[in-house]
Structure 1
Amino acid sequence: MHIKTSDQEKLNMGFGGYTCNWGLHICGLYETEAERDEIIFGFLHQGAIEKDKQLYCPEEHSQEEFIEKYGKFYPECKHHPHDPALFTIRGAKEFYYPGGTFSPLAMDKSLNEYFNESQKKGRRNIRATAEMVWALEAIPGVEHLMVYESRLNYFIPGKPWISVCMYNVNKFSGSTIMNVLRTHPYTISGGVITQNPYYQDPDEWLRQNAPEFLTV
């Protein structure tokens, strides 16, 4: 099934028989390990087959567990996660708060740098996904997580980029999940992709919740 999410080229999501379009910011809501793995492994494996660049931040998996499980799921492709041309795998601290503090503006800068570097040899499609449970820790600045999520809606459109932000609904509060819905234009829930009726444009969400980040 195709879900038209932009005017860019089509991509195979790798699970559920779905295709979408590049330039997509989507939240994956899940309750079980099996739900999580179907999305993450299918999404990244499909990208590796298509020679996209995978940017993955494991948290409920360790990097070693992910690589081992990937090899079991796809034995003919077990080399994929070891190929730096296909995979960049970073832990949450390295990716989100390398200096010990989480900053949406620092994330803007690092993602732009990563994207610009990835495009130096021509257009390269980027598939990014992360297990967001790291944000349940008492990390300085983590209260601005939804600012980062909202600002991704400035960064992603128009780029050959898709971000799937994975939220375990058994671990996050209901109020956090509601803000997740307000900052992601599309959702995956129960393995089904839908346009999100709760989504707010970043100008609107930031104006209401974090105006100091609106024009930065």
Structure 2
Amino acid sequence: MKKIAAPIPFAGSQIDQPRHVCAFFNSPDEEYRVLLPFIKDGFQCGHKAIHIVDRDKRQDHLQRLTAAGIDTAVAEQSGQLEIRTDTDVYLPEGRFDADRMISAFEQLVSDDGTGGFPLRRICCRMDWAVESGSHVDDVIEFESRVNEVWLRHEDAVICTYDLGKFGADAIIDILRTHPMVVIGGILHKNAFFVPPDEFLREFRERRSRRSGSPGVA
């Protein structure tokens, strides 16, 4: 049976159940201003930090963590900090596979305190979806489907999106796939969230009409 962990403070509120959050930002500085207190609190709580970053921004990310007072060398050596690149995680061999990603996240999350870390705090930068080709529709489907994983686990995942890189229609659908949302630097329960079964049925019908191909059940 899934245990119920205490809410996690984040962006002026608390992350409750399920802990799948989309966060919209206008700049990296705004993003780190919101994320760093959450990241630092995780280290103080003994949680594992898993950060998926742009392949070209790993050093910048480490420098920002260090400037915030986090000893990244010690944290990486102990296993408390794990930094992965977006292309390695999401696009091995240059291809996005939602089924593979669902399995990967299922393996990534914790439910029994293995490895000495009671919870994982996962931060995923999602700009790769528009920068590495047209993966946006596939990612939106994945973001809806992966809610089934977070319903079974206590770990918190923050998916960050640059508002300047995604179109308005994509942003609306991304919003509808996350139970909680950060807008203007503040965390809110998401009144626009649509459960996966309902969202995926509607979204796949729209994709099918655009492509002129039969819908997928």
Judge same fold: TM > 0.5, yes or no: yes
Contact 1:127 1:161 in 2 (8 A): yes
Which residue is 1:89 aligned to? 83
Match of 2:6 among 4, 10, 15: 10
Which residue is 2:42 aligned to? 47
Which stretch shows the higher mean deviation, 104-113 or 55-64?
55-64
1:70 aligns with 2:62: no
Match of 2:194 among 195, 200, 208: 200
Which residue is 2:15 aligned to? 20
Q: Give the SS at the match of 2:38.
A: helix
1:161 aligns with 2:155: yes
Give CA-to-partner distance per residue, 1:178-203, whole Å, 9 cap, x none. 01111011111111111112111001
Which stretch shows the higher mean deviation, 83-92 or 148-157?
83-92
Contact 1:27 1:164 in 2 (8 A): yes
Q: 2:130 and 2:88 mapped to 1: Cα distance?
A: 16
Q: 2:126 and 2:46 mapped to 1: Cα distance?
A: 25
1:185 aligns with 2:143: no
Q: 1:99 and 1:160 mapped to 2: Cα distance?
A: 31
Count of residues in correspondence between the two structures? 206
Q: Give the SS at the match of 2:146.
A: helix
Q: TM-score, normalised by structure 1?
A: 0.83
- Could you tell me which runs of 5 or more consecutive residues in structure 2 were left unpaired when the two chains were aligned: 206-214
Q: What amino acid maps onto 2:51 in structure 1?
A: Y
Residue 73 of structure 1 and its aligned partner are, at CA, apart by 1.6
Q: What amino acid maps onto 1:10 in structure 2?
A: A
1:149 aligns with 2:129: no
Q: TM-score, normalised by structure 2?
A: 0.83
Q: What amino acid maps onto 1:126 in structure 2?
A: R
